[in-house]
Amino acid sequence: MTFSRARVEVIAAELAASGLILRGGFTFGDDEMAPAGLSGFPAKSVLLVGQAGAAPWPYFQRWLEGQPRPVANPLDSWSLEVIGAVAKEFGARAVSPSDRPYLPFQQWAMRAEGLRPSPLGILMHPQYGLWHAYRGALLFEDKISVPEPHAAIHLCDT
């Protein structure tokens, strides 16, 4: 089964309701070692979730104020809660950049968004500069129809 772009747009809208954005995605090749999906079989596709700018902060602050006691790693906890709810709704496995074993989020980002590292190794976005982050990813056992990334103009080149 292949997820349509319309379904991906619904996922993006669900994430946007918490200030997060769908950062792109891709389908793993047959020869790649893909991480496990929800059932434990290799995932076929990944959608990256993140932020740009300050959009998620009001949602995160409300969540944080509603916690009955201090939370270790609150931003990671909130992100995984939001992304996890979307994963559950759409039959995906939610993963985080802080999960161990570490998953190759930077490699995924370069592939999904056409980004490349700055001379210091930091991924710079042509629109967001350094004010962006990847908060998690959705691993699907279905193929996802996402547009190919455009070649990103690197800010260091301009």
Quick: pLDDT tens for 53-110: 899 999 999 999 999 999 999 999 999 999 999 999 999 999 999 999 999 999 999 9
Residues 121 and 65: their CA atoms lie apart, in Å, by 35
Q: Domain for residue 153, yes or no?
A: no
Report pTM: 0.91
- For residue 120, what are the domain limits? 2-148
Cα dihedral 69/71/75/78 (nearest 10): -70
Q: Domain for residue 66, yes or no?
A: yes
Quick: pLDDT tens for 124-148: 887 887 888 999 999 999 998 876 6
Residues 148 and 57: their CA atoms lie apart, in Å, by 29
Q: Domain for residue 124, yes or no?
A: yes
Q: Domain for residue 157, yes or no?
A: no
Q: Domain for residue 74, yes or no?
A: yes
Quick: pLDDT tens for 86-100: 999 999 999 999 999
The confidence band for 149, taking pLDDT boundaries of 50, 70 and 90, is: low
Q: Domain for residue 79, yes or no?
A: yes
Q: What is the pLDDT, as a whole number, of residue 152? A: 61
Q: Domain for residue 155, yes or no?
A: no
> How many domains does the chain divide into?
1
Q: Domain for residue 154, yes or no?
A: no
Q: What is the pLDDT, as a whole number, of residue 158? A: 67
